[in-house]
Structure 1
Amino acid sequence: MSKECAFCGKKPQVGNLVSHSNIKTKRRFNPNLQRVRHQYADGTVCTLSVCTRCIRSGKVIKPVVSKKADA
């Protein structure tokens, strides 16, 4: 699974981890990806890795789960 958002394309960024003595080592800033089910306009449902900002902004349309009534 790649660490990339399916909607906005957000990927890991690199930066420095700075210690108390100001020694710098490389580190990665990973995006906060969640696996969510997304419903497309034609009705198909697919599981995607999406960042939390895209979930919050409404780019992800979650499918409606219908409860079956017990007869």
Structure 2
Amino acid sequence: MEIDARGLSCPQPVIETKKAIDKKHTQLTVLVDNVAAKENVSRFATAMKYSIQAEETDYGWKLYLEKR
């Protein structure tokens, strides 16, 4: 599942990620366009026992989350 959180200010990217995790998605891609969103989504995903890989893109970052 892909979540496009570009243009959203915190805590909205984390809220959108939480909604997907609550639906039991085990693999997610989250698109963010600012450092605060990248760090907050990564911190939340880690707390929820997801591994994270971040890839820098032209618009910000693509975060790959996978349930451990």
Same fold (TM over 0.5): no
* Higher-helix-fraction structure: 2
TM-score, normalised relative to structure 2? 0.28
Which of 1 and 2 has greater Rg?
A: 1
